[in-house]
Structure 1
Amino acid sequence: MKFLSAAALAAGLCLGLGATQAQAAQKALLIGAGEYPYLPPKAQLSGPANDVRAMTQFLEGYWGFSKSDIRILVDGDASKQKILNAIQSWLPGATQPGDRVIIYYSGHGSQIPDTSGDEEDGKDETFVPTDFGRNGDQASDMLSDDEIGRALNMLKGREVILIADSCHSGTINRDIVPGLAKDGIDARPRYLPFSGSSTFFADARDVEPLAREVDTHLNLSAALPHQLAWETNGSGIFTQTLIQGLSSGQADQNGNGRITTAELLNFMRPKTEAWCQGVEQCRELQFTPNVSPRNEAFVLQPVRPAEPVQTVTGDSSEDVSDVLPERERDKIAVRILPGAMHEIGDEVQFQLTSELDGYLTLLDLTAEGKLVLLFPTDEDRAAGKTGKIRANSTLTVPDPSYGFSFVAEAPAGNGKLLAIVTQDRVDLEDLLAANGTFEPIDDKMGFIKEISGRLNTVWTGDTTNRSVSWAAGYKEYEIRP
């Protein structure tokens, strides 16, 4: 049985497992609702169109989006039906499971009476399309959280990030708060009260309802439920601060090259609150960007950076592990018996200890540029071995029941083992079954990219969407002549 050597696929891992979804597709729908032809002048917003331009420049300049990756709906195009068509038709047609979808909305937010009975307080949260008011003050002309949720059902399996620079407040006055112009500040809240009901919405909600009702991997909203989102001098404060933190890297508070949602909020909140202290109406309610679901470890990084990806070459396992997110490092210990240094012809075994309960996949990266699956193989399946590994217990491959050992074979050189443990039951069976004969995998890069895509997709097996739970571990070895 072969025990292959070296690690020429380090660069491939940087593009695959190392850089989250590096080969996945990405699409963005950017909506700017500022000009409302059926509403009075005090309801008009000057910032959304500018916000969309700023987001477009950010996505193209820093996150590697091409013009064809982005669809823009601004003002006259930001009607209810065009927004729904883009979510229900364009995005599903242009993406597939495992891809990233960003939906950005800048404009008025509001609330309307809940008619489906799924809201404890009797209110649905809404975006306000620019054709609102064409039929009078009708709740059906707003885009409710229920409607958005049904539309997003078309995007199952995608990593959906919803960004909303609008208000969803239940505690503010029913009259639109007038724009302010004082000491050079031109400030206006992005809340449109709905006057089509006799109900006075005056109680606060302690959760972000839009985020709760719609099926997203991550929702970034401009303000807490009882607060207002603001624009000034033709730009949303939330959008300005979001782009600043991500594009400059200032939100990377620990300097590790990755920005988590916790770091982003810690960067944004002091800035929005400092601005808020200069506006009297804002001071009363404050201005606190929010995230939901509360996955503070979610990493906000580009699928395709604008600059070319710098890949790692050579056989250093440290270089490869450096590109894995922190939550995936050092959670699997890999040992080689009797040691990590062998002569050609030596028999070897592998012992693996994981911090996670899960299922093991073991790969060998070779000096000849080959990739071989060591576990689970066809023989493992025939023996009923599933690769189930329990947290903090040791799994030996091959164990004595196999009746054979792995043998270190020529050529001599340095090599590397890669162990992956998936805590969630990610479906890798077709990939593993097609490569279970100890022979080098023909399309090694395609294999790595496919595993990467499945591990870095959205897990929908729980009540709240989240990242797949998995970990990786490495072990270098040397085969001497």
Structure 2
Amino acid sequence: MRFWVPVAALVVAVLCSSSPAFAKDRALVIGIGTYENLPEDMLLHGPKNDVKAIAGLLTNTLGFKPESIRTLTDQQATKAAMLSSIKEWLVDGTKAGDRVFLYFSGHGLQVKDESGDEEDGMDEAISTYDLKAGDDDWTNVILDDELEPLVARMKGRAVTVVIDACHSGTISRSLSPQAAAGLKGARFLPRPFATARKLVTRGLRIDLGVVDKPVPLVEAGVTIWSAAAPYQVAWDDVRLPIEDRHGVFTAAFIEGYQPKTSDANANGLTSNAELLDYVTKQSKDYCASQEACDDIDPQLEAMPEVLGAAVVKPDLVVETPAETTPVETQPVEVETAAYEEVKPEPAALPVYIASNPLDGVGDILGRGDTG
């Protein structure tokens, strides 16, 4: 699913555990596997584990305090509770310069566009615990049109949005619940009781889902991750026992923060581009192992200036040569720090990039030097 690739007028920087948490850092973590009005074969087993894992990433790696994280799971995640938490906890509870992290794990879907602002006639949406099936579409969902203005109100924060769900083009086949029942672990809901029609996809548009008018938000400094392209499906990892399942994307996203896991050019800095490469490889490896999975292309929407920026603030290291011989006519040479702090415009907070230009290029490209 591709959710909103933008998330606020904030900079795409993500700070690390070694830096003190800001007074108003806020995270909202939502996971829905059990739904009030869905049959058992449409429930998901991964979200309950996803929310725990993301909370661990926030506290252990990104430096969020436990009290700054609000979690909504299953029956807690009604439409009213989700919207009110975004508004009260994230929008009203933070100010310019704070960090905001919004995570969703659950079903994504598409519903008929009533406002006329969608090229394909469909609105992207995320599910709620209390969503309902209408005569030919889902109701009581949260539309991209509802989320976008809330995200826009977080101007000046460093906002990160991560969506592990899908509202893919395959949904536009208007599959009945019976037809979709065979796709175990798929994180999308087919349109209920609709007649089948020609497959409609968004081609090569890479706009990351639910907030699919992302350009203004991204230009404002928002960074958005989503598990798949708008025409693809996101998955629970069905290779695992039911109680151990998690989102394929979420697991790869968290693993990518670990030292040396996704640092392709081995310079000690894991960049946004390198993390994207890592989650893409892990997702495609999963897809290759499953007959029902055609392909997965995780998405990152962010300012170009931060593609090579660290996802976690690196420890700045200043190394002095073991032996130095000062000469009267020559100053002592001291190696500069491996990383430097920059503040792209617009930016709420600084980001960290490699000071070595060659390392910087590798971080931006997201791969090691194989030339």
The answer on whether the counterparts of 1:24 and 1:99 sit within 8 Å (CA) in structure 2 is no
Q: Give the deviation of 1:136 after TM superposition.
A: 7.6
Q: 1:202 aligns with which of 194, 199, 204?
A: 199
Q: Give the deviation of 1:317 after TM superposition.
A: 9.9
- Residue equivalent to 1:110: 109
In 2, the alpha carbon distance for the partners of 1:220 and 1:98 equals 21
Q: Give the deviation of 1:125 after TM superposition.
A: 0.6
- Residue equivalent to 1:324: 340
User: Which deviates the most, 211-220 or 131-140?
Assistant: 131-140
In 1, the alpha carbon distance for the partners of 2:147 and 2:176 equals 26
Q: Is 1:124 aligned to residue 123 of structure 2?
A: yes
- Residue equivalent to 1:43: 42
Alignment of 1:142-157 (within 5 A): 142-157=141-156
TM-score (norm 1): 0.57
Change (3 A) 1:249 1:88: farther
Q: Which amino acid aligns with 1:227?
A: Q
The answer on whether the counterparts of 1:129 and 1:143 sit within 8 Å (CA) in structure 2 is yes
The answer on whether the counterparts of 1:229 and 1:287 sit within 8 Å (CA) in structure 2 is yes
- Residue equivalent to 1:190: 187
Q: Residue by residue, what CA displacement relative to the aligned partner does 1:256-292 show, whole Å, maximum 9, x if unpaired?
A: 232222211221222211211121110xx21221112
Q: 1:456 aligns with which of 338, 350, 358?
A: 350
In 1, the alpha carbon distance for the partners of 2:291 and 2:339 equals 46
The answer on whether the counterparts of 2:256 and 2:275 sit within 8 Å (CA) in structure 1 is yes
In 2, the alpha carbon distance for the partners of 1:252 and 1:274 equals 18
SS in 2 for 1:188: coil
In 2, the alpha carbon distance for the partners of 1:423 and 1:57 equals 29
In 1, the alpha carbon distance for the partners of 2:348 and 2:280 equals 34
Q: Which amino acid aligns with 2:188?
A: Y
- Residue equivalent to 1:260: 271
Alignment of 1:222-301 (within 5 A): 222-232=227-237, 233=240, 234-282=245-293, 285-293=294-302, 295=304, 297=307, 299-301=309-311
TM-score (norm 2): 0.73
Q: Which runs of 5+ in 1 are unaligned?
A: 1-17, 181-186, 329-421, 427-452, 458-466, 472-481
In 1, the alpha carbon distance for the partners of 2:105 and 2:36 equals 17
| C-alpha RMSD of matched pairs (Å) | 3.4
In 2, the alpha carbon distance for the partners of 1:36 and 1:302 equals 35
Q: Which has the greater radius of gyration?
A: 1
Change (3 A) 1:213 1:197: farther
Q: Give the deviation of 1:297 after TM superposition.
A: 1.3
- Residue equivalent to 2:181: 178
Alignment of 1:7-18 (within 5 A): none
In 1, the alpha carbon distance for the partners of 2:193 and 2:130 equals 16
In 1, the alpha carbon distance for the partners of 2:344 and 2:224 equals 24
- Residue equivalent to 1:429: none
Change (3 A) 1:159 1:252: same
Greater RCO, 1 or 2 (C-alpha within 8 Å, sep 6+)? 2
Alignment of 1:280-429 (within 5 A): 280-282=291-293, 285-293=294-302, 295=304, 297=307, 299-302=309-312, 321-324=337-340, 424=345
The answer on whether the counterparts of 1:58 and 1:247 sit within 8 Å (CA) in structure 2 is no
Change (3 A) 1:87 1:262: same
Q: Which amino acid aligns with 1:31?
A: I
Q: Give the deviation of 1:140 after TM superposition.
A: 4.2
Q: Identity over the aligned pairs, expressed in percent?
A: 32
Q: Give the deviation of 1:24 after TM superposition.
A: 6.2
The answer on whether the counterparts of 1:171 and 1:203 sit within 8 Å (CA) in structure 2 is yes
The answer on whether the counterparts of 1:31 and 1:78 sit within 8 Å (CA) in structure 2 is yes
Q: Which amino acid aligns with 2:104?
A: Y
User: Which deviates the most, 267-276 or 129-138?
Assistant: 129-138
In 1, the alpha carbon distance for the partners of 2:157 and 2:185 equals 34
Q: Give the deviation of 1:167 after TM superposition.
A: 0.8
Change (3 A) 1:139 1:56: same
Q: Residue by residue, what CA displacement relative to the aligned partner does 1:22-79 show, whole Å, maximum 9, x if unpaired?
A: 4562321110011002111111111101100111112212222221121100001111
Change (3 A) 1:70 1:455: closer
The answer on whether the counterparts of 1:19 and 1:323 sit within 8 Å (CA) in structure 2 is no
The answer on whether the counterparts of 1:64 and 1:302 sit within 8 Å (CA) in structure 2 is no
In 2, the alpha carbon distance for the partners of 1:102 and 1:92 equals 11
In 1, the alpha carbon distance for the partners of 2:152 and 2:26 equals 16
Q: Which amino acid aligns with 2:288?
A: Q
Alignment of 1:7-156 (within 5 A): 22=19, 25=22, 26-133=25-132, 139-156=138-155
The answer on whether the counterparts of 2:316 and 2:337 sit within 8 Å (CA) in structure 1 is no
The answer on whether the counterparts of 1:31 and 1:105 sit within 8 Å (CA) in structure 2 is yes
In 2, the alpha carbon distance for the partners of 1:193 and 1:318 equals 61
Q: Give the deviation of 1:92 after TM superposition.
A: 2.5
- Residue equivalent to 1:212: 212
Q: Which amino acid aligns with 1:36?
A: Y
Q: Give the deviation of 1:135 after TM superposition.
A: 7.5
Q: Give the deviation of 1:236 after TM superposition.
A: 0.7
Q: Which amino acid aligns with 2:190?
A: P
Q: Which amino acid aligns with 1:272?
A: S
Q: Is 1:221 aligned to residue 226 of structure 2?
A: yes
